[in-house]
C-alpha cells in the first residue's frame, strides 16, 4: 500500500496477549505498512527482557515501521496519578524511539469545558515537538467531533489535531456529510472499522468498542459515504489506522486477525480510496 499514507494496524486490533515479535510479524505478513503500539504493549516487551535497541531490530527485521503510539488518558484530572504521568512519559519516549510524530489521546472523564481545554493545552506543551491526536468517543468526556474541535480552538495549542474514527463517528450518530474544508485542517489521522447496526446500551457502549467491533465492510457503517466525506473535505491524514477490537476475531489468533482485517480493508480502499494504495 502507500508509504505516504501508511495503512496501520492498531495495537488494540491485535489485543494484549501476543509477544512483541508476534505482533510485528503478523502485521508484516498480512501486508500492513505499519503497526500501532500502546504503552502497555511496549512495557510488556520490556518485561519480556527486550531492550529498545532489540525492539528496533525486530521491527527492521520484518521490514515494518511503527506509525502510531497510544493512548494517553487521565490528562484532564486536577491531580494526575503517578501511573498516568509515567504512561505519558513512556508514550513520548516511544514516539521518539520509533520515529512517530504523533501520540493518540482520549479522555474518559467528564470535566468542565474550560478545565479540559486548559489541561489539553498543558498536555500539548509537555508533548513538545510531537503532535497530539485527540480522539472523540461518544461515551467519553469528548463525545463528538464538534466538541473536540471547540476544545482545540479554546486550548490555543498548535500541535494538536483530531483522530477521526469511523466507529465513533457512527455511534455518535453524526451526519456522514457534515465535514467541511475548515474541519479538515483539524484532522490528523483516520481510523476505519465497522459496527453492528444496533449499538450496545449507552451505559455499556464502551464495552462494545473494546470487544465487539467489526472489520471494514462487515457491518452497518456506510464506509463509502464516510470515505467520500473525508475526501470531499480534503482531509490529509498522516495514517489510515485499522482499529477492529474484536474478541471474536482474536479467538482465531493474531495472524488470522491481521490477515482478515487487512484483506477487508484492501477491498474497501481499492473501491473507495484507491489513492491510498
Task: Note the pLDDT tens digit of each residue in 124-141.
Answer: 999 999 999 999 999 999
User: Which DSSP string do the residues of 47-104 spell out, in sequence order?
Assistant: HTT--HHHHHHHHHHTT--EEEEEEE--TTSSS--HHHHHHHHHHHHHHHHHT--EEE
Assigned C-alpha cell, 170: 457512527
Helix or strand (DSSP H, E) at 196: none
CA separation for the pair 114, 199 (Å, rounded): 31
Under the banding of pLDDT at 50, 70 and 90, the label for residue 276 is confident
Q: Hey, what domains does the chain have and what are their CATH numbers?
A: 7-276 (3.20.20.150)
Which alpha helices (H) appear in the chain, and where do they start and end? Answer: 20-30, 39-47, 52-61, 82-98, 113-127, 145-155, 166-171, 181-184, 205-211, 223-232, 247-250, 254-272
Contacts of 166 (CB under 8 A, 6+ apart): 190, 191, 192, 193, 194, 221, 223, 226
pLDDT at 155: 97
Torsion of CA 242, 23, 247, 188, to 10 degrees: -20
Tell me if 118 sits within 8 A of 78, measured CB to CB.
Answer: no
Calculate the average pLDDT of the chain: 96
Contacts of 71 (CB under 8 A, 6+ apart): 38, 39, 91, 104, 105, 106, 135
pLDDT above 70: residue 3: no
Residues 188-216 have pLDDT tens digits of 999 999 999 999 999 999 999 999 999 99
Reported pTM = 0.95
Amino acid at each position: 500500500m502507500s508509504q505516504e499514507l501508511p495503512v496501520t494496524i492498531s495495537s488494540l486490533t491485535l489485543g494484549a496477549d501476543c509477544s512483541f515479535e508476534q505482533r510485528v510479524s503478523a502485521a508484516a505478513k498480512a501486508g500492513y505498512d505499519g503497526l500501532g503500539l500502546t504503552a502497555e504493549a511496549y512495557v510488556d516487551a520490556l518485561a519480556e527482557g527486550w531492550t529498545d535497541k532489540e525492539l528496533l531490530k525486530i521491527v527492521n527485521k520484518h521490514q515494518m515501521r511503527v506509525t502510531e503510539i497510544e493512548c494517553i488518558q487521565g490528562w484532564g484530572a486536577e491531580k494526575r496519578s503517578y501511573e498516568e504521568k509515567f504512561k505519558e512519559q513512556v508514550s513520548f519516549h516511544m514516539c521518539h524511539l520509533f520515529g512517530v510524530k504523533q501520540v493518540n489521546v482520549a479522555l474518559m472523564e467528564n470535566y468542565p469545558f474550560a478545565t479540559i481545554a486548559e489541561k489539553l493545552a498543558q498536555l500539548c506543551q509537555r508533548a513538545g515537538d510531537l503532535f497530539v491526536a485527540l480522539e472523540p468517543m461518544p461515551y467519553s468526556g469528548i463525545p463528538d467531533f464538534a466538541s473536540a474541535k471547540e476544545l482545540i480552538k479554546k486550548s490555543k495549542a498548535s500541535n494538536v489535531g483530531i483522530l477521526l474514527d469511523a466507529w465513533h463517528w457512527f455511534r455518535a450518530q453524526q451526519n456522514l456529510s457534515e465535514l467541511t474544508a475548515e474541519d479538515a485542517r483539524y484532522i490528523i489521522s483516520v481510523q476505519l472499522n465497522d459496527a453492528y447496526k444496533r449499538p450496545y446500551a449507552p451505559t455499556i457502549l464502551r464495552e462494545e468498542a473494546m470487544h465487539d467491533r467489526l472489520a471494514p465492510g462487515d457491518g452497518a457503517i456506510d464506509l463509502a459515504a464516510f470515505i467520500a466525506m473525508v475526501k470531499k473535505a480534503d482531509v490529509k491524514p498522516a495514517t489510515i489506522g485499522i482499529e477492529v477490537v474484536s474478541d471474536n476475531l482474536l479467538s482465531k489468533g493474531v495472524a488470522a486477525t491481521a490477515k482478515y482485517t487487512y484483506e477487508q480493508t484492501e477491498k474497501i480502499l481499492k473501491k473507495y480510496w484507491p489513492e491510498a494504495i
